[in-house]
Amino acid sequence: MQRSMSRFLAGLAMAFSLCAPAAAQISIPPGSSLDVPVGGVVDQGCLSLDMQGTLNLSGGTLNVDTDVTFGSGAIVTGSNGIISVGGNLISGGSINTGNNNVVLRDGCDPGNTSQISGSFVFQNLTLSSTTGRTFVIPAGTNITVLGTLTLQGAPGQNIQLVSSGGGTAVINLGPGATVNRTNATVNGGVQIGAAAAATNIPTLSEYGLMLMALLMGLAALWHQRRATGAITNRRI
């Protein structure tokens, strides 16, 4: 009963959004869900999605040609689905998209720029464009790709990965993650994969250096006395 009510409220919210063109947005409130049927497609066109509830993916495709925002309490369930976004992808909390594929691509935005901001864990993430789209990753954004990161532009139309905010933007790679890169330019402010940790070289303290110098002196004295004793014995 509660689940049916949640779906009803979600449908009602969608209906109100569709009836209000000025908003140009579909909102799924907390406690409600958007269910993508198995093998099916939910296509929102150029209506943005404000996901505050649960997105249930079961091998289906959610297609949004503009922005998708995940609230701090949003949840993604299911596997083998596709979240296809033609605008910005934003999270207000830590979002794990599960064993699904997330694709950022060309969409309704005439500015030819998309931004990924917030905290995301992706199984597979694809950034693609045939128009030389620029993907902006603000410094401090927490992105982790566990499976495959695909950067796919077109001949003569490289996609661009750039940072913003005056710092380095990092796309972390999980153990065993792979990167497929074709016709893609990664700006110097974007780092793919964590930097190798610096290896600390052990150093001696002041007392350690003094002890080493003393031992070296004793060793030298011992060798000198041994050599002197050998000469004395030969003379005798």
143-182 pLDDT tens trace? 999 999 999 999 999 999 999 988 899 999 999 999 999 9
CB of 92 within 8 A of CB of 75? Answer: no
Check pLDDT > 80 for residue 77: yes
Check pLDDT > 60 for residue 15: no
Grade residue 111 by pLDDT with cuts at 50, 70 and 90. Answer: confident
Grade residue 198 by pLDDT with cuts at 50, 70 and 90. Answer: very low
Q: Which of 70-79, 107-116, 221-230 has the highest mean pLDDT?
A: 70-79
Check pLDDT > 90 for residue 232: no
Check pLDDT > 70 for residue 216: no
Distance CA 82, CA 63 (A): 8
CB of 75 within 8 A of CB of 56? Answer: no
Among residues 193, 124, 97, 116, which one has the least CA distance to residue 159? Answer: 116
